[in-house]
Structure 1
Amino acid sequence: MSRFPAILGRLLKATALTSVVGGASLASYSYAHDKLENDSAIKDKLPAIIKELPPLPSREALIKRLGPTISEKFGTTKKENEFSASDAQIKYDLIIIGGGATGTGCAVDATTRGLNVLLLEKNDFASGTSSKSTKMAHGGVRYLEKAFWELSKAQLDLVIEALNERSSMLENAPHLSSVLPIMIPVYKWWEVPYMYVGCKAYDFFAGSQNLKSSYILSPSSAIAAAPMLKADNLVSALVYHDGSFNDSRMNVALALTAIKDGATVLNYMEVKQLLKTDDNKVKGVRVVDSETGNEYLVGADAVINATGPKSDTILDMDHDVKGVAPALPLNTPRMVVPSGGVHVMLPDYYCPKDLGLLDPSTSDGRVMFFLPWQGRVLAGTTDTPLKKVPDSPIPSEEEIRDILKELQPYIKFEVKREDVLSAWCGIRPLVKDPRKVPKDGTTQDLVRNHLIHQTDSGLITISGGKWTTYREMAQETIDTVIEKFPELKTNNSKKIALKPCQTKRYKLYGAEFFDRTLAARLAQEYQVPSELAEHLAAYYGDKAGLVLELYKKDEANQLPVGLASDNVKPSYNNFQYPFTVAELKYSIANEYTRHPIDFLARRTRLAMLDAKVGLEAVDGVVKVMGEELNWDNDHKEKVKKETEEFIKYMGIYENTSCFIEDQKH
């Protein structure tokens, strides 16, 4: 703490001597993250377009790794919930429950160290909070402000940690992430030096990993960069830089990376019981395949609970001597303090194409972002305390209108409710140590970053944090597992010495042979529209050629998913989004897509970009998936209704409640 004022003093002196005016053209900010690329020389030979590749194991092959089903092994000799760790049929070094950012991050970290890993996700990868973020890899400017005003080293450490991890995200998945300049309009003269020092401090604490220097814009330059911005009383604008990324695609890339490296990673597998030893140690799970109803008993030396907002559900199972969830949540100190965060998607004319806007102080004191994302504008987020964690949170009409209300003071034209293309709600899991008794509902014991907690049974729970720090959270979690379970160092299933963490500079699936010329070369090679080539390069990285091989194989594969119904002539130009049947078939065969929502909301972002168009595409997606996965008519009708119900609550209609109890996806 004693060094902090001195550091701040040196920073203020440095910024006082620095004069930075935004003379650089905004056009110089390309999609590329040039800070982290090796630009010292142009390489003579570009990586070849990947046109064929041995496939990853199928879902059926991964499930076989779980051993025989309970019915195959035990028949009806044992009742449900009477199983223990000694009944496990297959043993892993580590089982991870939860397939969001943290869970899949842990799987990549543990697998690359040499552990034999099983990850189980109840629904789909990124089906919860991990697909509903603000899509930013950032250090947190508001935490930096708090650090200054409170002279808090803890707050400053949060910022520095996140800034370091921001760099790793941009480097490890360059196809899914990019640098984004963000403008802060200033309407009071006294705020100019204050904002300027804050932006330069953000640069300073990023150190050598600073993306680009922040700078000041004159009012005329700010309006030129953002013509929709109100000019009344505008005195200046500050521009700083952060990262933008595709969250659910990043989550899928993590899952695929872990599988590529040898992990067994499965979605739609629900943990129904924690398997315990006679001395109450968690050493496995009973898991059910949601698609077939088959159940499996799998053992492990260690089990990680990485279920985010649902952490308390697994902790409740751990409280039971049989490892079974109680009928009602236990009356014990809770780990997760849930908060709902709503985002809305707006047309592209609400924000410049390559420049975000930040409202640093909304009417209730929050920070609000308005960011270009996937050709649209992402606005949010709200922060609504919740009494419990809903299975399927949805945005309320009040929250949607609150976001539009905050945007209106900055925009020249009327901000209209009918311009909302989609809206969604994610659960932010603030955490507190469950060993501490709550103090009258106060939040003073909340952990602002993340928390790793081990129960007496040995169950490791990791919760809290944010997308930007997922990798470090995973590293700390696996470090803790290895420390708490030393037998893993020498007695793991592979009988090898474990490596140290490998993930700081580890390319994710799709990034290894990716380069910034890929989209142009794809357009040349396959003679497809540049929009389609750019989309595939940005979603699939060096695997984009595999999608286009399917695309050229059959004229029917070139049909946009929104038009993939009977008696419709294939025409790319009839559909405004670059999502084709080829991409759908690729995602089914290579990305473990099992439900139309997986494709419409997570493998692609169509439902989030435009819920009405996503709704119109349901029939075509169900038709193709039914053919590829051999669905009967009853199942096709079932998933169609589930998908339509899901999308209808994404801001298309006015919602009055904050969640729906009975939604599954």
Structure 2
Amino acid sequence: MKRNIQKLAQQEYDLLIVGGGINGAVCAWDATLRGLKVALLERGDFGGATSSNSAKIAHSGVRYLQHADFKRMRESISERATLMQIAPHLIDVQPYLLPIYGHGIKGLETMTLYFAIYDLLSKDKRRVKDSARCIPNCQILSKQEVLEMWSSLDPDNLTGGAIWYEGQIHNTERLLLSYLLSASERGTEIANYVEVVEFIQSDNVVVGVEAKDLISGQTIKVRAKTVLNACGPWIVKTLNLSREQFKDYDLHASKAFSFITRPLTNDHAVVFPIKPMYRDPQAIVNKKSSLAFAIPWRGYSLVGSLHLPCEDDPERVSISEEEIQTYIDLINEGYPEGKLRREDVHHVLWGIIPGDREGSAAPMKHYRILDHAKEDGLEGLVSVVGVKYTTSRDVAQKTIDLVFRKLGQVSPLPSTKNTPLWGGEIEYLDLFMNQAIEQESDQLSPEVVRNLVRKYGSAYQEILGYLDENPAWGVVLPNSDVIQAEIIHGIREEMAEKLVDVVFRRTDLGSAGYPGDEPLRVCAQLMAGELGWNEADTEAELRNVVDSYIIRPKTEMVCQP
């Protein structure tokens, strides 16, 4: 996957996608598999905006039962099973423990029925070929069983508990890249750091875009029969690049964030109540609290998510220290056993996501696919607003169905549901892992191999191929599980143009918090050698990494030459 700006300007595409978040990436993969000639432009880095906020759950929509929204729950269950099949190396099975109190509408008898219905509607969970990775049925626990698992829990009025299971995504950034790498291998032209500045129109038809390469400063024109706007909360801002007057789509934004903290739980994710930040008028059950999760994740806990109103320009929004403390207080009210302190929070995952309505913190519940010929009288332009990582493949399939109708072509049958992603050619993960560890035992430790397989799957040997060029690239960066070859691969094959790209989205180096000065400097020096940075460039890249953290490192050594 390499940037080729000149090639983008020299061809006409069936479909040009604007936006390289999860929805744009999956649309590119689906359209390419169906035989369309596709290009994708992203003004920043892939997955660097809305898609950077994720609780990293391939979720089943178990909470949708409270809305009697069986359709949305069935979609989520099916798509969870699909993800576990097409990207098995990136997703684990994670149990969740829910304490149950009393005997009312949220009591043991009602929740027993609730989870029985959920199991009945969850036939897809058995679709995974690897039986070791099938999602088990839910379990209803006695009060004593719950207290044995969660000894510090308040026993007053506790009547039992439930365990259900979700898919836990090891690395959402690698999942998004896997879609892009898959599409690129099939011929999609992809470029990051290319900003669309204007739609090219012929009367009432969009025929392409004018775009600026933010790396070189060059301006190009990219022509396409159909343009897909996949810019998330920036969808309206992108539409305004046209000369047309668009209708009010009532699209708003919500600010969402989660914490990476010291471990707050052991094997099970724990579920606890927090004060709701918005009212859900569609819920059948009148909720006086929302549910939050503390999830085991790569040796930490991932706690989330909190949603807050956001009516500011997304370009200027951040997470304040006051908002961090507010969430800590909410967590401690609902989960006092965790005793979370400010210094326990290592990293904040956040993003601006589509909101449900103006002035509300509520996230949008349902995706939207907009045909602007019908909505606004402008041909050649489609927009998609997705709401969940888990269901992005299903939304993309419906979006590309519309693109084929716009093109006047008969669509081949979609095949993304059954086609492994880049790195996903693995039938039995445990067997594959053990074979990889044994095969590489002469040069790498089991832990290094295990981490490579968890990130790159069946393609892990592509990373090890760099060791033939320079054996030193097999060295692990200090205080991390990242080998230097991963950085080289990210630059040469995954369009890593900036240090933040490698630290946050090509490797695991900084995804759980500030990794430390020494590994950052090693990483920066490798990138400088590959990309020709001088000393001033390198120091600027290091400062940019520090500035990208909501929770900044205490030391300033990283910025010293």
TM tier relative to shorter chain: 0.7 to 0.9
Q: Displacement of 1:479 after TM fit?
A: 0.7
CA contact (8 A) 2:254 2:363 kept: no
Structure 1 residues 616, 335: CA separation in 2 closer, same or farther (over 3 Å shift)? farther
Equivalent in the alignment of 2:328: 404
CA contact (8 A) 1:120 1:266 kept: yes
CA contact (8 A) 1:526 1:548 kept: no
Question: Could you list the runs of 5+ residues in structure 1 that have no partner in the other structure?
Answer: 1-56, 68-88, 148-154, 322-329, 433-440, 490-496, 563-574, 654-665
Q: Deviations over 1:259-318 (max 9, x none)?
A: 0111111111111111111x1311101111111111211111100000111101111112
Equivalent in the alignment of 1:492: none
Q: Is residue 2:336 matched to residue 1:336?
A: no
Amino acid paired to 1:427 = I
- The 1-side partners of 2:493 and 2:152 are apart by 42
- Which of 392, 399, 403 is the aligned partner of 1:477? 399
- Which of 311, 314, 339 is the aligned partner of 1:387? 311
Equivalent in the alignment of 1:104: 25
Structure 1 residues 442, 419: CA separation in 2 closer, same or farther (over 3 Å shift)? closer
Equivalent in the alignment of 1:133: 54
Q: Displacement of 1:561 after TM fit?
A: 3.1
**1:209-358 superposed matches below 5 A:** 209=125, 211-226=135-150, 229=153, 234-245=158-169, 246-277=171-202, 279-318=203-242, 320=243, 333-348=248-263, 350-353=264-267, 355-358=268-271
CA contact (8 A) 1:271 1:287 kept: yes
Equivalent in the alignment of 2:117: 201
CA contact (8 A) 1:175 1:514 kept: no
Equivalent in the alignment of 1:584: 487
Q: Displacement of 1:240 after TM fit?
A: 0.7
Structure 1 residues 226, 267: CA separation in 2 closer, same or farther (over 3 Å shift)? farther
**1:59-78 superposed matches below 5 A:** 59=3, 62-67=4-9
Q: Deviations over 1:468-490 (max 9, x none)?
A: 1101111111111111221xx2x
CA contact (8 A) 1:226 1:351 kept: no
- Which of 34, 40, 46 is the aligned partner of 1:119? 40
Equivalent in the alignment of 2:417: 504
Amino acid paired to 1:630 = G
Amino acid paired to 2:498 = H
**1:543-582 superposed matches below 5 A:** 543-551=459-467, 554-562=470-478, 575=479, 577-582=480-485
Q: Displacement of 1:509 after TM fit?
A: 0.4
Amino acid paired to 1:644 = V
CA contact (8 A) 2:464 2:474 kept: no
Q: Name the SS for the 1:467 alignment partner.
A: coil
Q: Name the SS for the 2:425 alignment partner.
A: coil
Equivalent in the alignment of 1:34: none
- The 1-side partners of 2:221 and 2:161 are apart by 59
CA contact (8 A) 1:535 1:578 kept: yes
Amino acid paired to 1:646 = S
Equivalent in the alignment of 2:130: none
Q: Displacement of 1:231 after TM fit?
A: 5.4
Amino acid paired to 1:368 = A
Structure 1 residues 418, 286: CA separation in 2 closer, same or farther (over 3 Å shift)? same
CA contact (8 A) 2:260 2:345 kept: yes
Q: Displacement of 1:207 after TM fit?
A: 2.5
TM (norm. structure 1) is 0.74
Structure 1 residues 243, 312: CA separation in 2 closer, same or farther (over 3 Å shift)? same
Q: Name the SS for the 2:421 alignment partner.
A: coil
- Which of 458, 468, 473 is the aligned partner of 1:542? 458
Equivalent in the alignment of 1:53: none
- The 2-side partners of 1:132 and 1:173 are apart by 20
Q: Report the count of equivalent residues.
A: 523
Question: Could you list the runs of 5+ residues in structure 2 that have no partner in the other structure?
Answer: 127-134, 278-288, 555-561
TM (norm. structure 2) is 0.87
- Which of 87, 91, 97 is the aligned partner of 1:183? 97
Amino acid paired to 1:140 = G
Amino acid paired to 1:99 = G
Amino acid paired to 2:163 = V
Structure 1 residues 397, 195: CA separation in 2 closer, same or farther (over 3 Å shift)? farther
CA contact (8 A) 2:230 2:384 kept: yes
Equivalent in the alignment of 1:51: none
Q: Displacement of 1:413 after TM fit?
A: 5.5
- Which of 432, 436, 439 is the aligned partner of 1:522? 436
- Report the structure number with the largest CA radius of gyration: 1
- The 2-side partners of 1:335 and 1:300 are apart by 28
Equivalent in the alignment of 1:452: 369
Q: Deviations over 1:488-534 (max 9, x none)?
A: x2xxxxxxx75221111111000024641233223222222222222
Q: Which has the higher strand share?
A: 2
Q: Displacement of 1:447 after TM fit?
A: 6.0
Q: Displacement of 1:234 after TM fit?
A: 4.2
- The 1-side partners of 2:363 and 2:152 are apart by 39
Amino acid paired to 1:642 = N
- The 1-side partners of 2:406 and 2:294 are apart by 43
Structure 1 residues 640, 595: CA separation in 2 closer, same or farther (over 3 Å shift)? same
Equivalent in the alignment of 2:542: 640
- The 2-side partners of 1:249 and 1:468 are apart by 14
Q: Deviations over 1:160-191 (max 9, x none)?
A: 12211111111111111122111112243541
- Which of 297, 301, 306 is the aligned partner of 1:377? 301
Equivalent in the alignment of 2:344: 419
Equivalent in the alignment of 1:465: 387
CA contact (8 A) 2:265 2:301 kept: yes
